[in-house]
Structure formats: structure tokens, C-alpha cells
């Protein structure tokens, strides 16, 4: 298929573009920043450019991963989020409909399900989060514009029948968390695989599966995250004694962690349940906490990429230009 991939210079894009090409697709990468997999430099907010890309490249399908995301909140005004994440998505959807494209995959985020109350861990139990969670009150402009873009996807599907898969991916960024700096980056990422992270390779693979299944499914919104070992009945215990719950599922986790001087989470405030993606989309992440512990046990390379100082390529090209 001739695919337009937005965000092709980014962290996801650099894994997804080669994976798509290896699967036999012809990929046009569009990004505001240059990159090895980017053929066109420009913004999704520019409708004329989008129309030109569709016409010149005969685009048949779209994977829309380009966005301003959470780390950009401190760098860009709210209006830029509306322009890129909302208007940009609308531009691509309308161009896809006009071109008679067969499918559209939108990279969304679990972040849009996180209200301030969930973020602050106010309840006395962890929050079990699946696609039925309501009402959604995203706590920042990133989540608000991603949720609005999801709604535009829903509307365009309803009005025009364009098959659209929305992937609410959890964390796969390689850099240190900008809000939790207590644990080392690798320790933090390992902990998150229990309930709120996936590898970037799995994120890329989910997009391939969504691309494949879109016409058959029609429309769907899926949490994409490593399968959690926990069950809804664990939520109270996870909040007050996460190491106790983890020990039930992984008796040697504490010892394996201790060897590295790592720490298990003391309390877990949310769990993403990716079961719907498994049941309906037919996608399950390959790497989970079990795989991570197996690597630790074997002394193998850990299956979670950690690049402490990763910054989005558009910021790198901006600093070169300045």
C-alpha cells in the first residue's frame, strides 16, 4: 500500500517506517523535522501541502503519528496544539476521504484518560482503566486535543465510512520522565511495564496490525500497552502494598531487583487494561514484565530502550537553526 506516515522523524516513526517498508509498503514520511525516513518536510496543519502529498504520492492509507505531545507543553502555546493535533488530524482525515483512502490509523494516547484526580492518585485504590472509562477529563492541552481529534475521527467515520483505528498507546518514550526523577530511568521503565508502558517496537507493531485489520473492523478505539499481570481485584492492594501484590505474581522479582539496586513501586495508582486490543484487534505486546524479568535472570540486554537525553527531532533541528 502507498502509506502516508506522519511523524516519520520521531521516536515511533524511526521504528515504524522501516517496519512498514519491510512489510512491502511504499511509505511517504512527512514531518516538520528532517529524518532518515522523512521524504517531505512540512506540517500536517498545512492543508494545501497535505492535498499535494496525497495527489503526488497516490496515498491509499494514513498512519498519523505526528503530534505535539506532553513534553511540548512547556515549549508551545495551546493554539499550536489545536493547530497540529486537532486541525492537522482533520486535514488528514478529509484528504483521506477525498482521495478514497482505504484506512486511517491514528496514534492517540492513554494520557487523555487521565484526569487530575487520577494523576494525583487521590483514591484509596488503583484505577482500573479500559476503554469504557468515563467521563474523560484530560488534564492538559495535549490530552484535550488528542481527545478532540479522536472525536473528529469518530465523526468522519460515521459520515464517510472511512475505516479508522484509534490506538491509545501508553508510554514508550525513551527519555527520563520529566515528572518522576526519584528512580533511575531504566528502573522506572521496568516498573511501568507492569501497568502503563510498552516497548516502541510493540507500539510500531500495533500500527501494522491496525492497518491490516482496519477495513474489517471499521472503527475502533484500543488501549495499546504491555499486558498487565494484575486483575481488577488487585486494585485496593496495589495502592497500599504494590510489592506484596507483585510478589504474588513474581516471587523472585524483589531479589532480581535488589541485585541491581532497583526498587519495585511501593504504590500503583492506575492499571491500563489492553485486553480489548487483544480480543478485537488481535494484537498483544510481545514484551511484558515477565519478559523483562527473564532478561534480568539471564543477564541479557533489557528489552526496554532507555535514552536519557532523547529530545524530539524538531527541537534538535530548532536548536541547530538558532
CA atoms within 13 A of residue 300's CA, in its CB half-sphere: 10
Neighbours of 183 (CB within 10 A): 17
Q: Could you give the CA distance from residue 45 to residue 229 in angstroms, rounded to a whole number?
A: 40
Q: Could you give the CA distance from residue 307 to residue 156 in angstroms, rounded to a whole number?
A: 37
Strand arrangement, sheet containing 2-6: 40-41, 26-31, 2-6, 61-64, 103-109, 164-169, 219-224
As measured in angstroms, the least distance from the Cβ of 200 to ligand NAD is 8
Q: Considering the rule CB under 6 A, would residue 172 count as an interface residue with ligand NAD?
A: yes
Q: Which of 4, 5, 17, 45 binds ligand NAD (CB under 6 A)?
A: 45
Neighbours of 185 (CB within 10 A): 17
Q: Which of 20, 27, 32, 296 binds ligand NAD (CB under 6 A)?
A: 32
**Whether 229 contacts 194, CB under 8 Å:** yes
Q: Which stretches does DSSP call E strand in the chain?
A: 2-6, 26-31, 40-41, 61-64, 103-109, 127-129, 164-169, 219-224, 270-272
Nearer to ligand NAD, 6 or 28 (CB): 6
Where in 141-170 is the site for ligand NAD (CB under 6 A)? 169
As measured in angstroms, the least distance from the Cβ of 218 to ligand NAD is 22
Helix axes 289-298, 253-260, angle to 10 degrees: 60
Task: Determine if residue 109 is left, alpha or beta; phi over 0 gives left, psi from -120 to 50 gives alpha, anything else beta.
Answer: beta
Q: Considering the rule CB under 6 A, would residue 6 count as an interface residue with ligand NAD?
A: yes
Cα 109 from chain centroid (whole Å): 5
Cell of 9: 522523524
As measured in angstroms, the least distance from the Cβ of 279 to ligand NAD is 21
Nearer to ligand NAD, 9 or 187 (CB): 9
Q: What is the DSSP letter of 163?
A: -
Where in 265-304 is the site for ligand NAD (CB under 6 A)? none
H-helix or E-strand spanning residue 210:
helix 200-217
Q: Considering the rule CB under 6 A, would residue 29 count as an interface residue with ligand NAD?
A: no
Nearer to ligand NAD, 209 or 253 (CB): 209
Q: Considering the rule CB under 6 A, would residue 65 count as an interface residue with ligand NAD?
A: yes
Q: Considering the rule CB under 6 A, would residue 68 count as an interface residue with ligand NAD?
A: yes
Q: Considering the rule CB under 6 A, would residue 69 count as an interface residue with ligand NAD?
A: yes
Which residue bears the cell 533511575? 184
Nearer to ligand NAD, 92 or 127 (CB): 92
Q: Which of 3, 4, 5, 9 binds ligand NAD (CB under 6 A)?
A: 9
Q: Which of 4, 5, 10, 156 binds ligand NAD (CB under 6 A)?
A: 10
As measured in angstroms, the least distance from the Cβ of 314 to ligand NAD is 4
Q: Which of 60, 62, 87, 88 binds ligand NAD (CB under 6 A)?
A: 88
Nearer to ligand NAD, 79 or 124 (CB): 79
Cell of 249: 505474581
As measured in angstroms, the least distance from the Cβ of 10 to ligand NAD is 2
Nearer to ligand NAD, 1 or 80 (CB): 80
Q: Could you give the CA distance from residue 296 to residue 61 in angstroms, rounded to a whole number?
A: 40
- Interface positions with ligand NAD (CB under 6 A): 6-7, 9-13, 30-33, 43-45, 65-69, 84, 88, 107, 109, 169, 171-173, 312-314
Amino acid at each position: 500500500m502507498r502509506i502516508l506516515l506522519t511523524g516519520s522523524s520521531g521516536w515511533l516513526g524511526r521504528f515504524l517506517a522501516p517496519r512498514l517498508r519491510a512489510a512491502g509498503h511504499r511509505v511517504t514520511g512527512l514531518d516538520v523535522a528532517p529524518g532518515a525516513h522523512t521524504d517531505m518536510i512540512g506540517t500536517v496543519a498545512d492543508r494545501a501541502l497535505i492535498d499535494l502529498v496525497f495527489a503526488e504520492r497516490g496515498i491509499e492509507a494514513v498512519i498519523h503519528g505526528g503530534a505535539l505531545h506532553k513534553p511540548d507543553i512547556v515549549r508551545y502555546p495551546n493554539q499550536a496544539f489545536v493547530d497540529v493535533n486537532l486541525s492537522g488530524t482533520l486535514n488528514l482525515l478529509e484528504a483521506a476521504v477525498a482521495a478514497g483512502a482505504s484506512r486511517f490509523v491514528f496514534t492517540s494516547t492513554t494520557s487523555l484518560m487521565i484526569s487530575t484526580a487520577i494523576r494525583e492518585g487521590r483514591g484509596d485504590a488503583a484505577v482500573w482503566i479500559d476503554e469504557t472509562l468515563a467521563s474523560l477529563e484530560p488534564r492538559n492541552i495535549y490530552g484535550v486535543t488528542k481527545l478532540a481529534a479522536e472525536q473528529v475521527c469518530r465523526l468522519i467515520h460515521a459520515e464517510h465510512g472511512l475505516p479508522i483505528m484509534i490506538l491509545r498507546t501508553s508510554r514508550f518514550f525513551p527519555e527520563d520522565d520529566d515528572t518522576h526523577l526519584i528512580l533511575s530511568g531504566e528502573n522506572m521503565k521496568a516498573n511501568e511495564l507492569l501497568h502503563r508502558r510498552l516497548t516502541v517496537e510493540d507500539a510500531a507493531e500495533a500500527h501494522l496490525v491496525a492497518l491490516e485489520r482496519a477495513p474489517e473492523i471499521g472503527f475502533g478505539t484500543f488501549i495499546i500497552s504491555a499486558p498487565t499481570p494484575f486483575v481488577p481485584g488487585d486494585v485496593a492492594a496495589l495502592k497500599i502494598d504494590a510489592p506484596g501484590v507483585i510478589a504474588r505474581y513474581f516471587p523472585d522479582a524483589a531479589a532480581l531487583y535488589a541485585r541491581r539496586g532497583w526498587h519495585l513501586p511501593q504504590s500503583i495508582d492506575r492499571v491500563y487494561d489492553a485486553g480489548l486490543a487483544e480480543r478485537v484487534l488481535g494484537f498483544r505486546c510481545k514484551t511484558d514484565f515477565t519478559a523483562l524479568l527473564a532478561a534480568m535472570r539471564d543477564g541479557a540486554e533489557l528489552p526496554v530502550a532507555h535514552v536519557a537525553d532523547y529530545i524530539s527531532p524538531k527541537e534538535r533541528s530548532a536548536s541547530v537553526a538558532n
